[in-house]
Structure 1
């Protein structure tokens, strides 16, 4: 809010033009008003507005021989497919023979209806629409004598090819992930959901960047109130730039001061398609492979995509393991601090003697010891992420081994503490969602502090406060802990454990309330009836 207020304070007061530009998201340097009837005047405005940028290509030419009419096309190099422009626009325009009786208006309609052999041809009359189309990969056609231009769809350029997602790997399932192109991402979703009720609405967010943001949902399945709430929050965003979906995520979430993510992000098209069928809304941002899904619930972050491709018993066992992993990454150091500092009677006597022997030469209490090791591992983790991939892995592995062994030999930490911190670090890596894993990493330090102050009582108090906080969260009005709190028996089969696919009869009730039934009756497979066969 302070940032937005600072932007508005610099603008002239009582300026109607400025207010209109703010409401429409128009850049302040774009000229207002309609186009001129003279091509050269329009071209001069384009060159002056873009600062004679070298990537703005302008091609002047004439149409007709007996009564030539001046025209020009303008496009942005790198954002268009030049083969389409030269083969389907320029060649047709420069070689066509028109009658001498053709007026500029007749020629304009002739080009629109007969010559422009490309898709997405539309009229543009305002300069804001001209520059918006030009900088989005469209080609603008100016005709002398007409105060209207044609915008032709010629989008192209270089994009990253479709690859396997690096953040959500799956043993079984599709191998393609989203790219930085909005249209490529929406196409991958439509390949999976071939339904006309899959609606896509696009808006531009960012007064400077004019970033395309798409809202995709299935009409008739998605809750209309949630869809309208998503649109309302997106329309209320007034910011100068949007470069990644993280900008949008921070501006539309329900609760700002929380360590837990209240929107789900993924770069897998099959995950987005499955959530759309459940009734969620996808927010797709141009320029990033990460798509936002809303509303999100807590248990969703422990579900992997291959859970639905494997048998239910295997998926259930893996989900129990993931929840256990999350709990270990959350409380393991705090439990060790509590047990060794306040509750030694809870540890078996031989183990207590072994731990005491190891800690005999350590000058620090267990809390400081754990804090040193946790911070060291966080530094190594961050270094491994930022360094080049080949070097980063070597630094993480070698650094952890060398530092851990050296710290034990120097008497700074005990061997037991190295084991505890190592298990905690591995558990945090095994959590399927990075967004929830980073939350556990931060909460772990709070629980360590409470354990050093009050022992197991502090750990339990911390977990209770965390549970209360989780139950108070909402994601676009949906309780964050549903269907566990409030408990919904019909949807409990897709939480910590997963029921067989033939038992998925209903969609999540709090997310979708109109179209609940997702499959027919008697979907359970049955062996052939031997009596009928005889």
Structure 2
């Protein structure tokens, strides 16, 4: 994609400059690079001089040779060649065999496009630069997303090329109101960023707010969409992720159909979706592909497991340390006998096991995949069994931590899972200090924070704050698809009807 938006090196004009001066104004900036090629040519029998500048490592030499150099060098002289405007029209209209080209007077635009893989054509006595689309970038092929696996659903995932990612969305949305706004972020890298939304659905104020926040980003290099997320989120100090990132085109399309906005950045397979709510973090694309009965059961189970992953260790600590009278007698005797000989308090025992699990989880991610799987499985078994035999932890603590770890893996969005793991440690600390009272206090603080938290003007608690009966049809229990006829009122979309 070629563009003439740039201001970094100024907007120098070349109306009175000769060919050599025009070439020199570009080469002075980027000519020190070994892969920058300057090729001076004669335009066939016209006798007019010209030059092309491109970068060999990211430009397509085959396209340049066949569609630019060959036709230009085979030009035949015409009677009106002395007229610069007529000659330029002939070059652009009948000579160059490319679908995309633009004219510009800006040296800055030329430099950016050359560094993006395009080619700049400079013709003697022509008072503008011609930018030709010849970019060619190597990248991996489309594969199944590794961070968001589903049993039933699309197997396509985003890649690092933003043009490919846009094509994956366009293949699924053939609506003329699908709109994309182009920006460039990073003062030195100037990565392409796309804001995508459906004009007839998305709320105008929300789109304007997204654009405003993007325009305020001032950084040398936005290397990944995580940089963008940290610059535009509402509350930097909140433990909850306020922007969703995904590798799945079907999830992005579903969000756009609801009236949300997607942010695509060149160089990363992770696309951002705004605004989001906490319930949305617990939904999987597979929920829409299965029948409503199955999806509802799985969602209810997912909510229960989120509660288990957040509260189970802290409740165990609270009951063992403060509220033994609430435990059934037989169970209390069994727990007491299993903890006989353990030298550490329950809180220390739980913290040691939780930290060990986190270490194993991190090691499994960083190591090569075959080794990582072995480390995760064998390491957990060996360390747990060895700790029990050594009398450092009790068997029931191993069970509690294992169930908690497995429950935390059921959260579909990785960033939401990290938030729950972080909050679990705060719950454990509160339980160790005040028992159930501490757990209740932390829970109230979290609920209060969640009720106040917003994501681009939308309440983070979602349907649990705003009572819209139609929105509850796709919350914890998913209604049959033919009953869900309206888009989420929480987003205030323009077109409120999903189905008639």
TM-score range, shorter chain: over 0.9
Q: Which residue of 2 aligns with 1:89?
A: 68
Q: Which residue of 2 aligns with 1:297?
A: 277
Asked if the contact 2:169–2:249 (Cα under 8 Å) also holds between the matched residues in 1, the reply is yes
Whether 1:485 and 2:479 are equivalent positions in the alignment is: no
Q: Which residue of 2 aligns with 1:415?
A: 395
Whether 1:204 and 2:202 are equivalent positions in the alignment is: no
Q: Which residue of 1 aligns with 2:194?
A: 214
Q: What are the Cα deviations for residues 302-351 of structure 1, in whole angstroms up to 9, with x where unaligned?
A: 11001101000100000011111111110111011011111112222222
Whether 1:250 and 2:221 are equivalent positions in the alignment is: no
Q: Which residue of 2 aligns with 1:33?
A: 12
Please list, as runs of the form range in 1=range in 2, the aligned pairs for 1:266-345 lying within 5 A after superposition.
266-345=246-325
The alpha-carbon deviation at position 51 of structure 1 amounts to 4.6
- 2: distance between equivalents of 1:286 and 1:201? 14
Whether 1:442 and 2:422 are equivalent positions in the alignment is: yes
- 2: distance between equivalents of 1:322 and 1:246? 26
Which of the numbers 117, 120, 139 marks the counterpart of 1:140?
A: 120
- 2: distance between equivalents of 1:144 and 1:289? 43
- 1: distance between equivalents of 2:51 and 2:219? 34
Secondary structure in 1 aligned to 2:473?
coil
Asked if the contact 1:204–1:211 (Cα under 8 Å) also holds between the matched residues in 2, the reply is yes
- 1: distance between equivalents of 2:17 and 2:89? 16
- 2: distance between equivalents of 1:489 and 1:342? 42
- 1: distance between equivalents of 2:333 and 2:463? 46
Q: Which residue of 2 aligns with 1:499?
A: 479
| Cα 1:132/1:205, change in 2 over 3 Å | same
Whether 1:76 and 2:55 are equivalent positions in the alignment is: yes
**Comparing 418-427 with 441-450, which one deviates more in the overlay?**
418-427
Q: TM-score normalized by structure 2?
A: 0.96
Aligned length: 494
The alpha-carbon deviation at position 100 of structure 1 amounts to 6.2
RMSD: 1.5
The alpha-carbon deviation at position 31 of structure 1 amounts to 6.0
Asked if the contact 1:198–1:219 (Cα under 8 Å) also holds between the matched residues in 2, the reply is yes
Unaligned runs of 5+ in 2: none
Q: Which residue of 2 aligns with 1:98?
A: 77
- 2: distance between equivalents of 1:370 and 1:54? 58
Q: Which residue of 1 aligns with 2:386?
A: 406
Q: What are the Cα deviations for residues 171-225 of structure 1, in whole angstroms up to 9, with x where unaligned?
A: 1111101111111111111111101100111011111110110011111100011
Asked if the contact 2:161–2:267 (Cα under 8 Å) also holds between the matched residues in 1, the reply is yes
Asked if the contact 1:266–1:292 (Cα under 8 Å) also holds between the matched residues in 2, the reply is yes
The alpha-carbon deviation at position 101 of structure 1 amounts to 4.9
- 2: distance between equivalents of 1:470 and 1:78? 49
**Comparing 109-118 with 210-219, which one deviates more in the overlay?**
109-118
- 2: distance between equivalents of 1:155 and 1:198? 25
Which of the numbers 326, 330, 335 marks the counterpart of 1:350?
A: 330
Asked if the contact 2:38–2:54 (Cα under 8 Å) also holds between the matched residues in 1, the reply is yes
The alpha-carbon deviation at position 471 of structure 1 amounts to 0.9
Unaligned runs of 5+ in 1: 1-23, 521-534
Asked if the contact 1:57–1:77 (Cα under 8 Å) also holds between the matched residues in 2, the reply is yes
Asked if the contact 1:25–1:205 (Cα under 8 Å) also holds between the matched residues in 2, the reply is no
Which of the numbers 214, 219, 225 marks the counterpart of 2:205?
A: 225
Q: What are the Cα deviations for residues 282-309 of structure 1, in whole angstroms up to 9, with x where unaligned?
A: 1111111111111101100111001101
Asked if the contact 1:262–1:480 (Cα under 8 Å) also holds between the matched residues in 2, the reply is yes
Asked if the contact 1:474–1:480 (Cα under 8 Å) also holds between the matched residues in 2, the reply is yes
Q: What are the Cα deviations for residues 10-31 of structure 1, in whole angstroms up to 9, with x where unaligned?
A: xxxxxxxxxxxxxx8744xx36
**Comparing 42-51 with 394-403, which one deviates more in the overlay?**
42-51
| Cα 1:31/1:281, change in 2 over 3 Å | closer
Secondary structure in 1 aligned to 2:397?
helix
Secondary structure in 1 aligned to 2:214?
helix
